[in-house]
Structure 1
């Protein structure tokens, strides 16, 4: 295949992808500019190709241009968040990775692969503004430090939770780093807020961020803050480390943060200093840092999603919140707590739960933990139609189908305690699927809907568990 044909193939390839691609020579002259980049910047290829970077973009310098700096360093620049203006006045916010093309030890070209996040940035800004408005409107439910919960907010009857609360109170007074881990829905932030309000920092701010909810390119700016001019359009802003002051910064789902950003967090914790993005001045960090993971942190260390050195730094004290299925004695007191809460909210008077439904709740494995139980109680109370007793008929469809498709054999798998945990869970899952399939005459679509899972997921589980029989 000739070089001209190969060039056409690559041109068509790069014009068909969703990311913008721009290629320059070592002097900064643009030699390729794909269709997605033209769409992103609202420019035509013929307006760009053959021109130098400074002729197309404002304020191009070696410091501000990744293309020019890569020529000097010969090192790629990965996932750089950048806001800039074209010479036509178009503001663009992108995430770009820039790479050198080497030949005989020399840089012969530089290319960038760019993803447009302008719309996402606008959406995030509006979301944060809305969050502030909601927060101000609901201020009567919050303390002046930004929290809602104390240790009195934690409802339990089990000895495992009593031990946890006792340990958490000790951790609060010790004022060191704390790592909390527990499944989604177990109440990690509730516990962390309680620790803050039991500590000597209770009159200082409590600031929380979910590390899984914010894109990597924005998370660094949110945590560390930015200086005016850090990138075009950037304004002076304090990061969460500064906003927390002498209070508590809660890093939720730390294991979802990139390894690269974890390294920067580690440096902040070791040096007790933070530098804003684009700045040179370091500011002392005075806040206490509490973090959480939704899986065992050792599992995160072993699978490479959590740095071992950061784990050792943050896990001075560790607190494990057991899943609801492992503390059945808490279910009844939680039911009464949520009944009391929502009967007040909805003005329903005294509402009870049918004994047979309570028994089903005690047998259920609660994959969504306390959060799932609360949502189910609230949902059921909205379905009462003036009645004062919640029955299985008031449950969400997916849960009612799960309960009613089972027989008494379901609970025997884990009551007998035979076999390993993996064996017990496999047998429970097999029985649940078998009963659901049987009740729907083997119809995959209806069975999947009743279980609240995707059809493909159900088919995978049927194959995995060897359920290839006549269910009708």
Structure 2
């Protein structure tokens, strides 16, 4: 028993009052708690009990001090995180702005009627949700146009994801596009499809003509129902991305061959843009040359190099079967190989210089002593017509004569 009943009751009443005061933040009452440990005032067991409460208070205060230190550290960490988050937001916004500046339609290089028409169509349709089909030869810049659609639209702040349908086997492209569930095969982990990862952005399907018929069927469903089902999945997942497809094939011919679905073709062909080959838009070549010269020299930290008139003419006369991509590669090569600030004909590829030599009847005669001027002129016109795929208007431009003048020369020289 702890002393008499009255003494015990008084002790506990005092103890409760002191503890409540301390709990409410009135730490000055802590002194009274320690005074209760005075063995003369209270029986020994009660004094020891009070002493234990006092020690407990010391530990609580120590813990509170430690917690305050941790809280201060957490507050500082929070401030650092807020600062870092804001910095990331600023950097992200800056990056998006740079991407917009680099890939929007304002950066499509060209002044030909074909390019101006493409830019106008992008302006009119960029913010619509409809699919886009881009057609044209390899190297004409279909991905550049796809980027322009994306970065000129309300989708610009969302992902732009490109997939080359000819670069992956059938099963892999299916998993890439539509996703796959965990455990479908040994060691396979769950993976989201690119159509889902694109979110409200754009998915660019290059070489759509090489997509298998089974994947074409799944893509058609995605276009019609705005949903996809991953490999091994049971529930469809909503798709919000805009689809832009591109091909260098004639899809209507592929339909007749049975290698492309007609219903998918019409689904994709809502907005159709054909990008003509570079040989059909020679007015764009000087602008592209200037752009690639400036851009490449800047990347290499060089002063912008110039072209001699002969080198420029050689580039203008070449037919560019590889289109814009081939022109870009040629300019980059010439910049690296040129020893001076001026690029000459000798710095160009052999295929370019040979084409330049064959574009002049006098040079043709110098290489073939038995040729007459009339024969050399005939060979020249035939070569230019071949390089323009029979386009007489374009051939006349390259030869520096009128279309009517070309027609008369062809008749005189017996060129059909």
Q: TM-score, normalised by structure 2?
A: 0.63
Aligned counterparts, 1:305-344, within 5 A: 305-344=259-298
The question of whether the paired residues in 2 share the 8 Å contact of 1:413 and 1:424 is answered with: no
1:176 aligns with 2:130: yes
Residue number in structure 1 paired with 2:335: 381
C-alpha displacement of 1:309: 0.6
1:421 aligns with 2:387: no
Task: Give structure 2 stretches of 5+ with no counterpart.
Answer: 1-91, 362-376, 395-416
Aligned counterparts, 1:345-364, within 5 A: 345-364=299-318
Distance 1:424 1:156 in 2: 19
Output the aligned Cα RMSD: 2.8
Residue number in structure 1 paired with 2:142: 188
Distance 2:186 2:98 in 1: 34
The structure showing larger relative contact order (alpha-carbon pairs under 8 Å, at least 6 residues apart) is 2
Distance 2:291 2:318 in 1: 18
The question of whether the paired residues in 2 share the 8 Å contact of 1:221 and 1:276 is answered with: yes
The question of whether the paired residues in 1 share the 8 Å contact of 2:162 and 2:203 is answered with: yes
C-alpha displacement of 1:360: 1.9
* Secondary structure, counterpart of 2:177 in structure 1: helix
Q: 1:142 and 1:364, CA in 2 relative to 1: closer, same or farther beyond 3 A?
A: farther
Residue number in structure 1 paired with 2:34: none
Structure with more helix by fraction: 2
Moved more, 323-332 or 270-279: 270-279
Task: Determine which of 89, 96, 102 is the counterpart of 1:143.
Answer: 96
The question of whether the paired residues in 2 share the 8 Å contact of 1:351 and 1:388 is answered with: yes
Distance 1:316 1:230 in 2: 36
Q: 1:241 and 1:229, CA in 2 relative to 1: closer, same or farther beyond 3 A?
A: same
1:261 aligns with 2:215: yes
Q: 1:413 and 1:185, CA in 2 relative to 1: closer, same or farther beyond 3 A?
A: same
Residue number in structure 2 paired with 1:165: 119
Q: 1:145 and 1:329, CA in 2 relative to 1: closer, same or farther beyond 3 A?
A: closer
Structure of greater Rg: 2
* Secondary structure, counterpart of 1:174 in structure 2: coil
Residue number in structure 2 paired with 1:396: 349
Aligned counterparts, 1:184-333, within 5 A: 184-333=138-287
* Secondary structure, counterpart of 2:134 in structure 1: strand
Query: How many residues were matched structurally?
Result: 285
